[in-house]
């Protein structure tokens, strides 16, 4: 496996691969890899000839007061995990390499970037879309793989690819979970032992909502209020950013189950201690 720090180096390897008629699979990451990332790399390996991953803690997608400086990093461990999962190249640029001195461009996916997590993290999705578009122009992947845990991110990237006529197929892959349901995330590292136990509440709420829908409850606003009350009573939940039902394609609010909703996205974002955690579930009706 090769580690590429320079954009020119990466582009010239990509050109070579393309000349040989081979396909490129790409998994963008911010490092501190876990089984969720590895599942994306393995999926890419099954479908593509050469696998690139990027490891880049992207300053553009962190707001003031967020965890950019403390974001967990462990390059040695990442290299061995990525290699074992089947990555061929790690693109590992410095921030200066990506943004230089005079970077002025931002990609904004309107509306989709302002709701849900966007409401609590202004500018976050513009930072994500901007860096992902740059990666796509550098790595020129045939296919790119994203975790469904960041469901809103996945919808935004798909919208950008469609709107900007990019020749890359985006694949969303299932969330990988711990035994108690907690979705894997590099940020789980921030949780104390007590907080880690409490963090199962996210999956618990999503499951409870699913069960209520499956039992025939059509009033999603009623379910939402029940879950919100439960979350507010939970002393380990410091703040609830949202618990929402949305259309999985458009991310529009859904208030009632009706014939048109075949799938409903339940999404949650809460703060446990200092850690902001998100999760979601697609509920089939």
We find the least distance from the C-beta atom of residue 15 to ligand PAF, in angstroms, to be 23
Q: Which two tokens stand for residue 198?
A: 């409490």
150 binds ligand PAF, rule: CB under 6 A: yes
We find the least distance from the C-beta atom of residue 80 to ligand PAF, in angstroms, to be 19
Q: Which stretch binds ligand PAF (CB under 6 A): 22-30, 163-171, 207-215, 231-239?
A: 22-30
Q: Which stretch binds ligand PAF (CB under 6 A): 124-132, 169-177, 213-221, 236-244?
A: 124-132
We find the least distance from the C-beta atom of residue 103 to ligand PAF, in angstroms, to be 15
41 binds ligand PAF, rule: CB under 6 A: no
Nearer to ligand PAF by Cβ, of 93 and 204: the residue is: 93
Instruction: Please tell me the distance from the alpha carbon of residue 207 to that of residue 223, in angstroms, as a whole number.
Output: 12
Instruction: Please tell me the distance from the alpha carbon of residue 157 to that of residue 177, in angstroms, as a whole number.
Output: 23
Strands 237-246 and 2-4: unpaired
Location of structure tokens 């393995």: 42
Nearer to ligand PAF by Cβ, of 131 and 212: the residue is: 131
Q: Which two tokens stand for residue 64?
A: 């003031």
Q: Is 230 exposed, middle or buried (0-12, 13-18, 19+ CB in 10 A)?
A: middle
Instruction: Please tell me the distance from the alpha carbon of residue 111 to that of residue 89, in angstroms, as a whole number.
Output: 35
Q: Which stretch binds ligand PAF (CB under 6 A): 2-10, 24-32, 75-83, 272-280?
A: 24-32
Nearer to ligand PAF by Cβ, of 29 and 39: the residue is: 29
44 binds ligand PAF, rule: CB under 6 A: no
Nearest-5° Cα angle at 151, 146 to 155: 80
- Under DSSP, the state recorded for 176 is P
Q: Which stretch binds ligand PAF (CB under 6 A): 6-14, 127-135, 187-195, 277-285?
A: 127-135
Question: Binding residue for ligand PAF (CB under 6 A) from 28, 93, 118, 204?
Answer: 28
Question: Binding residue for ligand PAF (CB under 6 A) from 29, 175, 185, 275?
Answer: 29
Q: Is 195 exposed, middle or buried (0-12, 13-18, 19+ CB in 10 A)?
A: middle
Secondary structure (H, E, C), 103-117: CCCCCCCCCCCCCCH
Question: Binding residue for ligand PAF (CB under 6 A) from 51, 132, 176, 237?
Answer: 132
DSSP states along 230-266: HHHH-TTEEEEEEEEEE-TTT--B--B--TT-SEEEE
253 is catalytic: no
Residues lying near ligand PAF in the complex (CB under 6 A) are found at 28-30, 58, 61, 128, 131-132, 150, 153
The residues that are catalytic are 37
């Amino acid at each position: 496996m090769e580690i590429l720090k320079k954009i020119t180096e990466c582009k010239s390897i990509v050109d070579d691969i393309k000349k040989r008629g081979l396909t490129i699979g790409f998994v963008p990451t911010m490092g501190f890899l876990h089984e969720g990332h590895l599942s994306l790399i393995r999926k890419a390996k099954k479908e593509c000839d050469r696998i690139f991953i990027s490891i880049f803690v992207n300053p553009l997608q962190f707001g003031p007061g967020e965890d950019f400086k403390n974001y967990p990093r462990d390059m040695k461990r990442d290299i061995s995990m990525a290699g074992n999962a089947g990555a061929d190249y790690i693109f590992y640029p410095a921030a200066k390499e990506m943004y230089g001195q005079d970077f002025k461009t931002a990609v904004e996916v309107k509306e989709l970037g302002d709701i849900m997590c966007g409401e609590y993290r202004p500018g976050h999705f513009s930072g994500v879309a901007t860096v992902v578009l740059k990666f796509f122009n550098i790595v020129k992947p045939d296919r790119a793989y994203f975790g469904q845990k960041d469901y809103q991110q996945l919808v935004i990237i798909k919208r950008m690819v469609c709107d900007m006529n990019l020749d890359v197929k985006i694949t969303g892959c299932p969330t990988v979970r711990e035994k108690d349901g907690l979705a894997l995330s590099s940020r789980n590292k921030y949780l104390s032992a007590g907080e880690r136990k409490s963090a199962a509440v996210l999956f618990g709420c999503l499951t409870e909502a699913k069960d209520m829908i499956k039992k025939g409850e059509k009033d999603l606003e009623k379910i939402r209020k029940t879950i919100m009350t439960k979350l507010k009573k939970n002393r380990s939940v410091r703040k609830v950013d949202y618990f929402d039902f949305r259309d999985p394609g458009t991310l529009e609010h859904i208030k009632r189950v009706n014939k048109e909703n075949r799938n409903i996205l339940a999404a949650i974002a809460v703060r446990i201690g200092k850690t902001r955690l998100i999760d979601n579930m697609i509920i089939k009706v």
